[in-house]
């Protein structure tokens, strides 16, 4: 189910960032899955995630050779 961007921000962050910041994140591909624009509003999957790329994924149980 999709929700409006401002509602999603309020559920994910406390305090929520400005809508302008979130729109920059959308353009940079930091929200996955990508929101859908309908008219002037963006709609985001309720379980979407924010990934700023600052944290790197770790390989679990890597076996050295």
Tell me the domain boundaries of the chain.
2-50
For residue 51, give Cα distances in angstroms to 15, 31, 39: 18, 6, 25
CA–CA distance, 65 with 47 (Å, rounded to integer) = 39
Question: What pLDDT band is residue 54 in, cutting at 50, 70 and 90?
Answer: confident
pTM over cut 0.85 = no
Q: For position 32, what pLDDT does the model report? A: 94
CATH superfamily of 2-50: Excisionase (Xis) protein (1.10.1660.20)
Q: What is the mean pLDDT of residues 10-32?
A: 95
Question: Which comes out higher in pLDDT, residue 46 or 61?
Answer: 46
Average pLDDT in the 12-36 region? 95
């Amino acid at each position: 189910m999709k929700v409006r961007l401002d509602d999603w921000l309020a559920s994910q962050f406390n305090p929520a960032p400005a809508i302008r910041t979130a729109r920059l994140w959308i353009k940079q591909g930091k929200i996955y899955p990508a929101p859908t624009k309908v008219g002037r509003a963006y709609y985001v999957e309720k379980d979407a995630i924010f990934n700023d790329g600052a944290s790197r994924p770790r390989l679990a149980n890597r076996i050295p050779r």
